[in-house]
Amino acid sequence: MLHLHTILFLIFAGICVAGALNFLLQRHPVNSALSLIVVMGSLALLFLLLGAEFVAAVQIIVYAGAVMVLFVFVIMLLNAGEEERTRGSRVALFLGVPGLIAFFGLMCWTLSRSQLGQVQIGGYYVTTQELGIALFREFLLPFEITSVLVLVAIMGAVVLARKERQ
């Protein structure tokens, strides 16, 4: 008997993995960016299944809305074409790929052996109010430091992207 949660999880996890594989296999940067947007959208739905409504909304607004628009804008500004096929380094082939497979296999083995229990829809539900209370009481100092970080990032981006005047 399949529960609704299982069905929804399988659908959106399938879309996630398919989008990520498409991201890996496409050669044109615009196609990669669009499939990454698909991954982010279905991740937002998985966040909703886990009861994180604010995080799901922010995922759509900030990631799929702002960050990816910035990426697509830069791709189109620089007129990036298909990437040419080059021969990768031998170190990457003989060390990187087996290392990645070993990492992934170890993760899956450990996670499938662990007795972590079950998650259910509505089992834990965080409202925006609770998140805001946590953010502005316990995490007030990190929040303020983050604002300084964003300010520094804005200034750095403006300085780096400015045209040099001779």
Partner 1 sequence: MIPLSWYLILGAILFAIGVASFLIKRNIITIFMSIELMLNAVNLTFVAFASHWHQVSGQVFVFFVMVVAAAEAAVGLAIVLAIFRTRETLNVDQVNLLKL
Q: Site residues for partner 1, window 98-137 (CB under 8 A)?
A: 100, 103-104, 107-108, 111-112, 114, 116-120, 123-124, 126, 130-131, 134-135
Report which residue type is found at 102.
Answer: A
Tokens matching residue 110: 């450990």
Distance CA(134)–CA(140), nearest Å, equals 8
Applying CB under 8 A, does 33 fall inside the site for partner 1? yes
Distance CA(166)–CA(159), nearest Å, equals 15
Q: Are 35 and 68 in contact (CB under 8 A)?
A: no
Options 94, 98, 144, 146; binder of partner 1; rule CB under 8 A: 146
Q: Are 144 and 73 in contact (CB under 8 A)?
A: no
**Binding positions for partner 1, 10-29, rule CB under 8 A:** 13, 16-17, 20-21, 23-24, 29
Applying CB under 8 A, does 40 fall inside the site for partner 1? yes
> Minimal distance in Å, beta carbon 68 to partner 1?
8
Applying CB under 8 A, does 139 fall inside the site for partner 1? yes
> Minimal distance in Å, beta carbon 10 to partner 1?
9
Tokens matching residue 28: 């044109």
